Amino acid sequence: MLDLSSEKSIYIQVAEIIENEILLGNINEGDQAPSTNQFAKIYNINPATARKGLNLLVDEGILYKKRGIGMFVADGAYQKIIKKRQTIFYKEVLPEIIQEADRLEITLEEIIDRIKEIKGGE
């Protein structure tokens, strides 16, 4: 779902929607991705904005173009997305969580215990 009030650019959100659909298994490697016109119609955005998001994924090797047919999910796209998202998690998300935990005087042990509780004690 697009968040038009977000600081994140719409075209980046478009790319993340496709990535999420791949991660969820709703779009598989080799499948055709939604077209720019489909995105524009569904989310009421400019087709050029949707195209920019899809082209970002082409540049990352997650999608590839078939001339005159559309864009398709590349082989290995799932693993590329996982690796990309893990890098973002470790470099951006986790440091913010740790910094906030420090401000709130939450210990590492408390964080680990809470994670285990949320995940069902795995």
For residue 22, count other CB atoms closer than 10 A to its CB: 24
At 95, the amino acid letter reads P
CA gap 84, 91 in Å, rounded:
11
Cα-based angle 93, 24, 63 (whole degrees, multiple of 5): 85
Q: What is the per-residue pLDDT across 12-59, written as a single tens digit (0 to 9) for each?
A: 999 999 999 999 999 999 999 998 998 889 888 889 999 999 999 999
Q: Which of 90, 24, 22 has the alpha carbon at shortest distance from 54? A: 22
The whole-number pLDDT of residue 103 equals: 96
Q: Which of 70, 69, 72 has the alpha carbon at shortest distance from 61? A: 72
